[in-house]
Amino acid sequence: MAPKPLVFSLFFIGILFSSLVFSPYVLDYTLTPRLISVSIILVLSFYLWFKASAQKLVKVDFIVLSYIAYVLFSCVSGLWANTPTESIFENAKLVVALAVFLFGYYFFKSDKEHALTLLAKISVVIVLVECVLVSSQLSQLAAFNKEALYNVYGANSHKNLVSSFLYVSLFFQVMGLFRLKKIWKWLTLLTLLLSLGMIAVIQTKAVWIALAVSVMLILLLLLYKRINIKLSLKWSLITGIILINIFFIFLQPEIIRKGLDFNKSQSQNDKAGSKKELDNERLQLWDKTYEMIHAHPVIGVGAGNWQIHFPDATLKGMYRAEDLNFTFQRPHNDLLWIIAETGFIGLNLFLLFVVSLLLFLIHTLKFVSERRMMIEVILSVVTIVGFFTAAFFDFPKERIEHLIWVNLVFAFAYSLIKENNDLKTLFEFKISGLYFVGLELILVITTVIGIYRYKGEYYTRQMYDRKKLNNNPGVIREAKKAVNFAYSIDPTSLPIKWYTGNSYAIAGNFNQAKTDLLEAYQLNPYNRNVVNDLASAYVNTNKPDSAEYYYLEASRISPRFDDPKLNLVAIYFNKRKFEKADSCLKTLLHDSERRTKYQKMVDAFLEKQK
């Protein structure tokens, strides 16, 4: 039974709107507004589908079960996450992604041509908007180099995300070339060329690699179609997953180590300043992520909590993090991100879904004869592999529009598999009134999470404004409004309680400051600023021994961070441990007035002791 026009129109108009909506009143203009938008669309679409559809029997096979199992395990991982609010938000995004996949499959199964035509037109509109935004941002650049290009973010908050989004959109533009007519066909061809042009100009190497892999894969799939090779789906799946695990457990850590060694040798041997290094910061991120993985290999640190645990591996060697106070929210490798947060259990559940999808598509390619179907199968394989090639170096998993569109590709691929293969049904159930209420409630909860996240970011933005004005009562007032069950830390991984703790300290309310900073520490025990300021709170409440412990911890996390070392010097000086104070001063890496003052004081007392 074809879906009712209202359900169809609502869902696809919602896809367009959710890919472009933004709000200037929150910290991240696009992330939370798009989560709210797509969640509302899914709530309404599910209600209309339930009212309109006569067939409510759901059959679950191995592919769908794998995806559901991965999302469920990620949700369960929130139980051991250090910062629950980040886990709640991350899992809300995954629930939305799964829902888009299931709805997408339903629409492709019901009316594939209509769905693809609409998505091709939507893709054309979005790419034209992207082109206008990117052109405007490029025109404002004073220089045209790597650093300047980071000011080009289109409608996606980051230049790399613009490129990866455009890469996924190529799939629907190519599909549109075979289906659209007249002006839409020419517009599709234009946006296809514009997409490739923008990808070239923005200079995201991860997507360039994805395009190169795509071209090679097309050739290999065409060759595979011609030669007589039979694949055992079961053994290919097992072998593929084992090989991927071997890569992440044994091979990638060795590659990272050799890359870091190569960069170190380049720095030591090249005197002219013309050394050519690999991307050292990304290698450092991966290396430290592996330290996290080694500590939590099976179940990970909990969804959304990579950013919390990452500094525990120390920020040593990361110049921007130590000297510029730059924070990292993701490891620039989505698969490593999955392993770090949900362990190898999470990775393998996800691999069961993706690898099964790819193997069944390749199996389908072998016996389809109709030209258009063959192109559809090849493009599905190529797009999925290319997307994860780009995701190996970047972070599209973070963004709502990427989750929407790649899950539409997953849904289309799954519809091709179901159309051409007899997948065994593991179990089936009818969506009765009770099931409907339960599933609808889940979608409503994702909407509520998005709204509360928006509220948190809105008041955090207000809090920042008060902080700039040194309005400490205003900071405390806005911060209290920001904190809720879905929001407790800002985009720099600083708990909102850190801001209130410092404001209370400035006002002289040291006991309340310590209370708030302890809460901040519980939410993020590895942020150098949180640990350092908690130590200062213990100083202000006359507990120098506790303060010393936390200052040492802050120094461990960030060896180039001089503030805790200077504070330690003060503690040692007050305890008349002048040799220890002198040793601590010798570890400082930056000159400052405070350092000079302390050194003179310590030197004077050391001289008296001679």
In the chain, residues under CATH classification 1.25.40.10 are 494-609
The tens digit of pLDDT for each residue in 378-410 reads: 999 999 999 999 999 999 999 999 999 999 999
Specify burial of residue 401 (Cβ count, 10 A radius: 0-12, 13-18, 19+).
buried
Percent of the chain with pLDDT over 90: 86
Planar angle of CA 546, 547, 552, nearest 5 degrees: 105
Mean pLDDT within 38-45: 97
Q: Give the pLDDT of residue 4.
A: 55
Q: pLDDT confidence of 52, banded at 50, 70, 90?
A: confident
Amino acid at 244: I
Q: CB of 55 within 8 A of CB of 1?
A: yes
Highest mean pLDDT among 425-434, 456-465, 597-606: 456-465
Q: Give the pLDDT of residue 57.
A: 87
Bridge partners for 60 per DSSP: 427
Q: Give the pLDDT of residue 608.
A: 84
Q: pLDDT confidence of 1, banded at 50, 70, 90?
A: very low
377 Cβ contact list (under 8 Å, min separation 6): 361, 364, 365, 368, 416
Q: Give the pLDDT of residue 143.
A: 81
Helix or strand holding residue 425 (H, E): strand 425-430
Mean pLDDT within 214-236: 91
Task: Give the mean pLDDT of the chain.
Answer: 94
Q: Give the pLDDT of residue 574.
A: 92
The whole-angstrom separation of Cα 248 and Cα 366 is 30
Q: Give the pLDDT of residue 272.
A: 45
The tens digit of pLDDT for each residue in 63-119 reads: 999 999 999 999 999 999 999 999 999 999 999 999 999 999 999 999 999 999 999
Q: pLDDT at residue 231 above 90? A: no
The tens digit of pLDDT for each residue in 121-154 reads: 999 999 999 999 999 999 998 888 778 888 999 9
Q: And the tokens for 571?
A: 């503690």
Q: pLDDT at residue 469 above 90? A: yes
Q: Give the pLDDT of residue 570.
A: 95
The tens digit of pLDDT for each residue in 538-583 reads: 999 999 999 999 999 999 999 999 999 999 999 999 999 999 999 9
Q: pLDDT confidence of 276, banded at 50, 70, 90?
A: low
Instruction: Say which CATH class 494-609 falls into.
Output: mainly alpha
Question: Among positive and negative, which fits the CA dihedral 370, 372, 373, 375?
Answer: positive
Radius of gyration (Cα) for the chain, nearest Å? Answer: 27
Q: Give the pLDDT of residue 275.
A: 55
Specify burial of residue 67 (Cβ count, 10 A radius: 0-12, 13-18, 19+).
buried
Q: Give the pLDDT of residue 452.
A: 98
Q: CB of 78 within 8 A of CB of 88?
A: yes
Q: Give the pLDDT of residue 274.
A: 47
Quickly count: other Cβ atoms within 10 Å of residue 208's Cβ: 16
- 117 closest CA partner among 42, 38, 178: 178
Mean pLDDT within 284-304: 97
Q: Give the pLDDT of residue 366.
A: 87
- 454 closest CA partner among 499, 486, 478, 495: 486
Q: pLDDT confidence of 610, banded at 50, 70, 90?
A: low
Percent of the chain with pLDDT over 70: 98
Mean pLDDT within 186-209: 95
430 DSSP 8-state letter: E
Q: CB of 206 within 8 A of CB of 164?
A: yes
The whole-angstrom separation of Cα 265 and Cα 270 is 8
